[in-house]
Amino acid sequence: MREGTAPTIQRLDYQQPTFWIRKVDLSFDLDPAKTIVTSKLQVERNRAMPHGPLRLHGEELNLLRVLINGAGVSFRQEGHELVIDNPPDEDFLLEIRNTICPEKNTALSGLYTSGGSFFTQCEAEGFRRITYFLDRPDVMAVYTVTLRADAAKYPVLLSNGNLTSSGSLDNGRHFAVWHDPFPKPSYLFAVVAGDLVAREQRIRTRAGKDHLLQVYVRRGDLEKTEHAMNSLIASIVWDEARFGLPLDLERFMVVGVSDFNMGAMENKGLNIFNTAALLASPATATDADFARIESIVAHEYFHNWTGNRVTCRDWFQLSLKEGLTVFRDQEFSMDMAGTPSARAVCRIQDVRQLRAMQFPEDSGAMAHPVRPDSYSEINNFYTSTVYEKGSEVVRMYQTLVGRKGFEAGMKLYFERHDGQAVTCDDFAAAIADANPGSDLATRLDSFKRWYSQAGTPRVTAHGEYDAATQAFTLRLTQQTPATPGQTDKLPQVIPVVMGLLDRHGAALPLDANGATERVLVLDQAEQTFVFNGIASEPVPSLLRGFSAPVVLNDGLSDAALLVLMRHDSDPFNRWEASQRLALNRILHALRAGQPLTLSPVFIDAMRGVLNHPELDPAFKELALTLPGEAYIAEQLDTFDPQAIHAAVMAAQTQLASALRDDWAAAFEANQVQGGYTPDPVSSGKRALANLALSMLVLDAQATGDTVWPGKAYQRFKDASNMTDRLGALSALVNANAALAAPALERFHALFKDDALVIDKWFALQARAPEAEGRVFARVKALTKHADFTLKNPNRARSLLASLCMANPAAFHRADAAGYVFWAEQVLAVDAINPQLASRVARAMDRWAALAEPYRSAAREAIARVAAKPDLSSDVREIVERALA
Which residues are the active-site residues? 300
Q: Given the complex with Zn ion, which of 309 and 715 has the nearer CB atom?
A: 309
CB of 322 to Zn ion, least distance (A): 5
d(CA 842, CA 844): 5
Q: Given the complex with ligand ARG, which of 133 and 639 has the nearer CB atom?
A: 133
Radius of gyration of the chain (CA): 28
Q: Given the complex with Zn ion, which of 26 and 278 has the nearer CB atom?
A: 278
The closest of 466, 790, 775 to 645, measured between CA atoms, is 775
Find the binder of ligand ARG among 264, 312, 560, 622 (CB under 6 A): 264
State how far the alpha carbon of 336 is from the alpha carbons of 111, 305, 328, 586, 744, in Å: 36, 20, 12, 35, 35
- The footprint of ligand ARG on residues 786-845 (CB under 6 A) is 835
CB of 265 to ligand ARG, least distance (A): 5
- Residue 14 touches which member of ligand ARG, Zn ion, none, C-beta under 5-8 Å by kind: none
Q: Given the complex with Zn ion, which of 131 and 325 has the nearer CB atom?
A: 325
Q: Are strands 270-274 and 251-257 parallel, antiparallel or unpaired?
A: parallel
Q: Return the HEC string of 711-775.
A: HHHHHHHHCCCHHHHHHHHHHHHHCCCCCHHHHHHHHHHHHCCCHHHHHHHHHHHHCCCCCCCHH
**Site membership for ligand ARG, residue 377 (CB under 6 A):** no
Query: How would you class 599 by CB atoms within 10 Å of its CB: exposed for 0-12, middle for 13-18, buried for 19 or more?
Result: exposed
**87 and 69 Cβ atoms separated by less than 8 Å:** no
**298 and 333 Cβ atoms separated by less than 8 Å:** yes
**377 and 6 Cβ atoms separated by less than 8 Å:** yes
CB of 123 to ligand ARG, least distance (A): 4
Q: Given the complex with Zn ion, which of 322 and 362 has the nearer CB atom?
A: 322
CA angle 632, 636, 638 (to 5 degrees): 120
- Residue 414 touches which member of Zn ion, ligand ARG, none, C-beta under 5-8 Å by kind: none
**Site membership for ligand ARG, residue 186 (CB under 6 A):** no
C-beta atoms surrounding 152 within 10 Å: 10
CB of 173 to ligand ARG, least distance (A): 31
The closest of 531, 545, 459, 464 to 500, measured between CA atoms, is 531
**Site membership for ligand ARG, residue 111 (CB under 6 A):** no
- Residue 98 touches which member of Zn ion, ligand ARG, none, C-beta under 5-8 Å by kind: none
Show the site string, 382-411: x = touches ligand ARG by CB under 6 A, - = not: x-----------------------------
CA angle 228, 379, 822 (to 5 degrees): 95
Find the binder of ligand ARG among 193, 262, 695, 875 (CB under 6 A): 262
**Site membership for ligand ARG, residue 293 (CB under 6 A):** no
- Residue 261 touches which member of ligand ARG, Zn ion, none, C-beta under 5-8 Å by kind: ligand ARG
**Site membership for ligand ARG, residue 265 (CB under 6 A):** yes
| Structural element, H or E, at residue 566 | helix 558-567
**Site membership for ligand ARG, residue 465 (CB under 6 A):** no
Q: Provide the residue count of the chain.
A: 884
Q: Given the complex with Zn ion, which of 301 and 359 has the nearer CB atom?
A: 301
What sign has the CA pseudo-torsion 732, 737, 740, 743? negative
- The angle that helices 774-782 and 755-766 make with each other, rounded to 10 degrees, is 150
**Site membership for ligand ARG, residue 235 (CB under 6 A):** no
Q: Given the complex with Zn ion, which of 322 and 770 has the nearer CB atom?
A: 322
CB of 306 to Zn ion, least distance (A): 9
- The footprint of Zn ion on residues 294-323 (CB under 5 A) is 322
Distant-in-sequence, close-in-space partners of 594: CB < 8 Å, separation ≥ 6: none
Peptide bond into 484 cis (omega under 30): no
Q: Can you say how many angstroms the Cα of residue 845 is from the centroid of all Cα atoms in its chain?
A: 17
Find the binder of ligand ARG among 258, 261, 423, 734 (CB under 6 A): 261
Candidate segments 86-94, 263-271, 472-480, 652-660, binder of ligand ARG by CB under 6 A: 263-271
Q: Given the complex with Zn ion, which of 112 and 301 has the nearer CB atom?
A: 301
Residues linked to residue 100 through DSSP beta bridges, in sequence order: 35
Candidate segments 9-17, 128-136, 260-268, 448-456, binder of ligand ARG by CB under 6 A: 260-268
CB of 154 to Zn ion, least distance (A): 28
- Residue 616 touches which member of ligand ARG, Zn ion, none, C-beta under 5-8 Å by kind: none
Q: Given the complex with ligand ARG, which of 290 and 375 has the nearer CB atom?
A: 375
CB of 303 to Zn ion, least distance (A): 6
Find the binder of ligand ARG among 59, 123, 287, 770 (CB under 6 A): 123
H-assigned helices in 635-736: 641-658, 660-669, 680-703, 707-718, 722-734
**Site membership for ligand ARG, residue 124 (CB under 6 A):** yes
Query: How would you class 481 by CB atoms within 10 Å of its CB: exposed for 0-12, middle for 13-18, buried for 19 or more?
Result: middle
CB of 272 to Zn ion, least distance (A): 12
Report the residue number whose CB is nearest to ligand ARG: 382
d(CA 288, CA 295): 11
Q: What is the dihedral of CA 814, 815, 818, 821, to 10 degrees?
A: 170
CB of 814 to ligand ARG, least distance (A): 35
**777 and 768 Cβ atoms separated by less than 8 Å:** no
Query: How would you class 846 by CB atoms within 10 Å of its CB: exposed for 0-12, middle for 13-18, buried for 19 or more?
Result: buried
Candidate segments 201-209, 262-270, 597-605, 756-764, binder of ligand ARG by CB under 6 A: 262-270
Q: Given the complex with Zn ion, which of 322 and 724 has the nearer CB atom?
A: 322
CB of 325 to ligand ARG, least distance (A): 7
Q: Given the complex with ligand ARG, which of 106 and 516 has the nearer CB atom?
A: 106
- Residue 342 touches which member of Zn ion, ligand ARG, none, C-beta under 5-8 Å by kind: none
**875 and 864 Cβ atoms separated by less than 8 Å:** no
The residue type of 20 is: W
Distant-in-sequence, close-in-space partners of 620: CB < 8 Å, separation ≥ 6: 609, 610, 612, 666, 688
Q: Given the complex with Zn ion, which of 322 and 621 has the nearer CB atom?
A: 322
CB of 417 to Zn ion, least distance (A): 18
Find the binder of ligand ARG among 25, 135, 180, 266 (CB under 6 A): 266
Candidate segments 256-264, 364-372, 649-657, 718-726, binder of ligand ARG by CB under 6 A: 256-264
Residue 523 has φ and ψ, to the nearest 5°, of: -130, 10
- The footprint of Zn ion on residues 324-343 (CB under 5 A) is 325
Find the binder of ligand ARG among 322, 568, 724, 877 (CB under 6 A): 322
Size of the site for ligand ARG (CB under 6 A): 13
Distant-in-sequence, close-in-space partners of 328: CB < 8 Å, separation ≥ 6: 239, 243, 298, 299, 302, 306
**Site membership for ligand ARG, residue 180 (CB under 6 A):** no
Q: Given the complex with Zn ion, which of 324 and 440 has the nearer CB atom?
A: 324
Candidate segments 62-70, 258-266, 450-458, 480-488, binder of ligand ARG by CB under 6 A: 258-266
The closest of 390, 314, 315, 393 to 357, measured between CA atoms, is 390
- Residue 382 touches which member of Zn ion, ligand ARG, none, C-beta under 5-8 Å by kind: ligand ARG
- Residue 330 touches which member of ligand ARG, Zn ion, none, C-beta under 5-8 Å by kind: none
- Residue 124 touches which member of ligand ARG, Zn ion, none, C-beta under 5-8 Å by kind: ligand ARG
By the criterion CB under 5 A, which residues form the site for Zn ion? 322, 325
By the criterion CB under 6 A, which residues form the site for ligand ARG? 123-124, 261-262, 264-266, 299-300, 322, 379, 382, 835
